[in-house]
Amino acid sequence: MTTRAEIAAKLDDFSFQKVNFGGFLMNKRAKNSHALWTRTSDKGVTELTILTTRDFGEGNVYDVAAFTLDGTVPADVVTELRQQAESLTDRINLREHGYVYSCLEPWDGGGTIWISKKPEFRALSRIDQGIYVIPIQRLNGLNEPRWLAWARENGQLNIAIVYKP
């Protein structure tokens, strides 16, 4: 079984980031992620806690997940967040909110990407307790997201899902 420490060590290698964050745009996403990862010391890998999932068919699967930077979301908080995520998912269209987080970028959109305009699921976060909630659009053909890489630079938390640990 892969551990958080093993994944974090692999992220130092550009080729590992290229497998997880590369692809189109001539691997610009992997290059940017690798540069951020290697220049900051405030970084790590944590495990996601899936709160709810919706499968819309044809590979269109969306999750709402919670995480903390140390990897442990308290059980009582998970119970509350699951109820809130389910209720919110029943009221609004999760498909309009999901995001792939396929390279290290601001967890909240940083005001520069469309997810910053759709805060409903992220509003379930308890940032004062170090608990973050994100809506995820799974990459087609890949399993449930489990691992999340994070790096904090200049007070901005950047995240990316590591689908291929």
User: What are 123's two structure tokens?
Assistant: 């509003």
Domain ranges of the chain: 4-162
Would you state the pLDDT for residue 69? 97
Predicted confidence at residue 110, as pLDDT, reads 83
Question: Which residue type is seen at 24?
Answer: F
Percentages helix, strand, coil for the chain (3-state, rounded to 5) are 35, 25, 35
pLDDT of 23: 60
Token pair listed for 132? 């973050």
Over residues 28-61, the pLDDT tens digits come to 888 889 999 999 999 999 999 999 999 888 888 9
Measure the N-to-C terminal CA separation of the chain; round to a whole number of Å: 10
Contact 36, 150 (CB under 8 A): no
Q: Is 137 in a helix, a strand, or coil?
A: strand
pLDDT reading at 26 higher than 60: no
134 vs 23, which has greater pLDDT? 134
Between CA 25 and CA 150 the distance in angstroms is 22
Residue 142: strand, helix, or coil: coil
Q: What is the model's pTM?
A: 0.91
Phi and psi dihedrals of 101, rounded to 5? Answer: 50, 55
Sorting pLDDT into bands at 50, 70 and 90, what band is 160? very high
Judged against a pLDDT cut of 80, whether residue 64 lies above it is answered with: yes
Q: Sign of the C-alpha dihedral, residues 53, 165, 39, 34?
A: negative
